[in-house]
Structure 1
Amino acid sequence: MSGVTFAAALAALGGCGLLGGPDHSPAAGSGGLEKPSIRVAVMSTIDTAPFRLAQDGGYFAREGLTVEATEAATGQAALTKLIGGEVDIGYSSYTPFFAAKSKNTADIRLVADASSAAPGSTAVVALPGSPVRSVADLAGRRIGITAPNTMSDTLTKSVMQDHGVDFSHVAWTPVALPNVAASLKHGDIDAAFLTEPFITQSAKAVGSVSVVDTATGSTRDFPTAGYGALGRFVTESPKTVAAFQRAMLSATRDAADRAKIEPLMVKYAGVDAETAARTTLLTFRSTVDPRQLQRVPDLMLRMGAIATGVDAAPMIVPQVVG
């Protein structure tokens, strides 16, 4: 998921009040953080809007926390930065986190949730004149995905399996999300998995239509992305982690007001105001639910994305409430 980088400030929006951010002094008990300045790898996706709201709206500052955002092109890139020590916390779809845990390549701990798939927010799309008109037509086709064994092909395989469609002969074709519309137009692929705002952008650019909503059946309300850290950071900086969680909890709650999110999409996710208004948002979340999250590694195992099962619960950092 890429787009323009989330790098500029929100000064043009008129300050924290317009963002819905708190304008009062830091909360009591926010002092004494082990690491008051942290670096977080994020991607230019619409489901990081609550993070930007927390950063530029003063939510982190209220907790005595300074957060420096580092752009990552993909979830795997964010994970690489995390493992390499470039950042303290990384945002990613859940699949790279569980793949790393399954292979024992990193001690991944999940700090906060980010999003779940809402109806219409993730889909397989095709051109109107394409022979791909339903999920049944996906068998044996060339389907564009972000990369193998990611959320894109895992969700698509699950929906195909739900409908009894064989996916063993599908030509899974890596295509960057911003390039999907052109690939469809040029006939390089027959269909593609997309998330918002790329579903809306592709429809606007080449008239693509949703063939199947991948947030249905076994993957209804499926956890899609979250924020992870290494075990050492979590152990050494529990107050810092809790401060991050409190800020994200508050910002995610306020992100329910779409008026606060659409300007962020326009300024930082590379979409115009019309697309921002029409985009179907993912469901923003902050608190990690162990039972819900377990669905991710279980599905990855069934779809062959990981070779060994993963118990999600021990990976979850204790969550703040309030």
Structure 2
Amino acid sequence: MFDSAGSSQPRLGRRGFLSLAMAGGVALTASGCGLLGGSDDSGSTNTGSGLEKPKIKVSIMPTIDVAPFHLAVQNGYFKAEGLEVETVDAASGDASLQKLQSGEVDIAYSSYTPFFVAKSKANADIKFVSDASSAGPKSTEIVAMPGGVVKNVHDLAGKRIAITAQNTICDTLTKSVMRDNGVDFTGIKWVSMGFPLIGGAVKRGDVDAGFLTEPFITSSAKTNGTVPIVDTASGATQDFPTAGYGSLGKFTSANPKTVAAFQRAMLRATKESADRSKIEPLMVQFSKVDQATASLTALLTFQSTLDARRLQRVPDLMQQFGTIPSKIDVASMIVPQASAS
């Protein structure tokens, strides 16, 4: 879900079903969460659609949050809107944002935190096109080894915690859940690495605990024996917006019909993503996990229509932690939202 690309409790089979469907709601988001990827081209060359730009490039990450996007490509929903969509892989939320700022892509998927950091620094006129996901129960967790030094959230103070990077959704959610439980997070030693490496680092003792999203939580539990310590999608960050699709103001202003077509295709695919049977094959195909892992994975909540009041929670929390210096008005960053065609 997030900025770069374990529990055995029952949810939808042993782990819970769909809460995320990363911001959409999937999200399974990092800056970042989850793991999906791969480049696909919708193949449409419809130039009679009336769109200002019928062929666009979209940067994506290997996260579960993008499952609705893959559905829109595979089921021809972009084509039906007269859009030809070329995907460009990005290694992290920051990398996705850089591709947007450089003009390599027209729309970028990322966890929300890099977008707001860029906005706070006046590095880019960021506009949000579509939501992607919110953190569902047990879809983002701090994990550790059973019998290790970290047995609960109170043991995290002063420990080494693996995250993808600082000032991302990973440390933001971790700080929030620690604060909710009265735990001092100022002495944390943050260790940056990719999601696929975190479970192994926890097992070896290179770090005391790690922040993971699905399907890495389930995969690490099976491979490394890690166990969940605290659900970071709880307390102040319950149903917390995690990721979405952003663009630049000059693009959204010049291409309102193109943006609306993208939104309609994503809305259609996101509604379809409520059927878990549509998502698990994508996890196997793009996340490279086996079917057993896919069936146990707790999903983020997929969403596509942006709500300013809900999304305002993200920069407000970032400001509390000093990640951005001042308040950001989210409403001014959201472009008009299209309804289903």
Matching residue's letter, 2:38: F
Asked if the contact 1:82/1:230 (under 8 Å) is kept, the reply is: yes
Residues 1:49 and 2:67 are matched in the alignment: yes
- The 5-angstrom pairing of residues 215-234 of structure 1 reads 215-234=233-252
- The 5-angstrom pairing of residues 66-77 of structure 1 reads 66-77=84-95
Asked if the contact 1:180/1:192 (under 8 Å) is kept, the reply is: yes
Alignment-derived partner of residue 21 in structure 2 = none
Asked if the contact 2:203/2:225 (under 8 Å) is kept, the reply is: no
Matching residue's letter, 1:52: H
- The 5-angstrom pairing of residues 93-172 of structure 1 reads 93-172=111-190
Deviations 1:75-116 (A, max 9, x none): 110000000000000000000000000010000000000000
Alignment-derived partner of residue 311 in structure 1 = 329
CA distance in 1, matches of 2:39, 2:197: 22
Instruction: State the shift of 1:308 in Å.
Output: 2.0
Share of identical aligned residues, percent? 60
Asked if the contact 1:202/1:208 (under 8 Å) is kept, the reply is: yes
Asked if the contact 1:6/1:269 (under 8 Å) is kept, the reply is: no
Deviations 1:109-159 (A, max 9, x none): 000000000000001010112121111010000001110110000000000
Instruction: State the shift of 1:303 in Å.
Output: 1.3
Q: Any gaps of 5 or more consecutive residues in structure 1?
A: 11-25
Q: Which runs of 4+ in 1 moved over 4 A?
A: none
CA distance in 2, matches of 1:310, 1:167: 24
Q: Which moved more, 1:266-275 or 1:290-299?
A: 266-275
Matching residue's letter, 2:94: Q
CA distance in 2, matches of 1:303, 1:195: 21
Instruction: State the shift of 1:7 in Å.
Output: 2.9
Question: Could you tell me which of 90, 93, 96 is aligned with 1:78?
Answer: 96
Instruction: State the shift of 1:272 in Å.
Output: 1.3
Alignment-derived partner of residue 302 in structure 2 = 284
Residue 149 of structure 1 aligns to a residue whose secondary structure is: coil
Question: Could you tell me which of 289, 303, 308 is aligned with 1:271?
Answer: 289
Instruction: State the shift of 1:270 in Å.
Output: 2.1
Alignment-derived partner of residue 241 in structure 1 = 259
Deviations 1:263-286 (A, max 9, x none): 111111221111111100000000
Asked if the contact 2:41/2:87 (under 8 Å) is kept, the reply is: no
Question: TM-score, with normalisation over the residues of structure 1?
Answer: 0.92
Alignment-derived partner of residue 227 in structure 2 = 209
Q: Any gaps of 5 or more consecutive residues in structure 2?
A: 6-34
- The 5-angstrom pairing of residues 175-190 of structure 1 reads 175-190=193-208
CA distance in 1, matches of 2:134, 2:337: 17
Residues 1:40 and 2:53 are matched in the alignment: no
CA distance in 1, matches of 2:325, 2:154: 27
Instruction: State the shift of 1:5 in Å.
Output: 3.9
Residue 229 of structure 2 aligns to a residue whose secondary structure is: strand
Q: Do the aligned partners of residues 9 and 317 (structure 1) sit closer, same or farther apart at CA in structure 2, a change above 3 Å counting?
A: closer
Residues 1:261 and 2:302 are matched in the alignment: no
Q: Which moved more, 1:239-248 or 1:262-271?
A: 262-271
Instruction: State the shift of 1:8 in Å.
Output: 6.1
Number of residue pairs matched?
Answer: 304
Asked if the contact 1:7/1:268 (under 8 Å) is kept, the reply is: no
Alignment-derived partner of residue 39 in structure 2 = 7
CA distance in 1, matches of 2:216, 2:41: 24
Question: TM-score, with normalisation over the residues of structure 2?
Answer: 0.87
Question: Could you tell me which of 299, 317, 325 is aligned with 1:299?
Answer: 317
Instruction: State the shift of 1:304 in Å.
Output: 1.7
CA distance in 2, matches of 1:309, 1:156: 21
Q: Do the aligned partners of residues 270 and 172 (structure 1) sit closer, same or farther apart at CA in structure 2, a change above 3 Å counting?
A: same
Asked if the contact 2:114/2:168 (under 8 Å) is kept, the reply is: yes
Matching residue's letter, 2:204: H
Residue 250 of structure 1 aligns to a residue whose secondary structure is: helix
Residues 1:195 and 2:227 are matched in the alignment: no
CA distance in 2, matches of 1:131, 1:186: 13
Matching residue's letter, 1:300: M
Asked if the contact 1:184/1:190 (under 8 Å) is kept, the reply is: yes
CA RMSD in angstroms comes to: 1.4
Asked if the contact 2:160/2:208 (under 8 Å) is kept, the reply is: yes
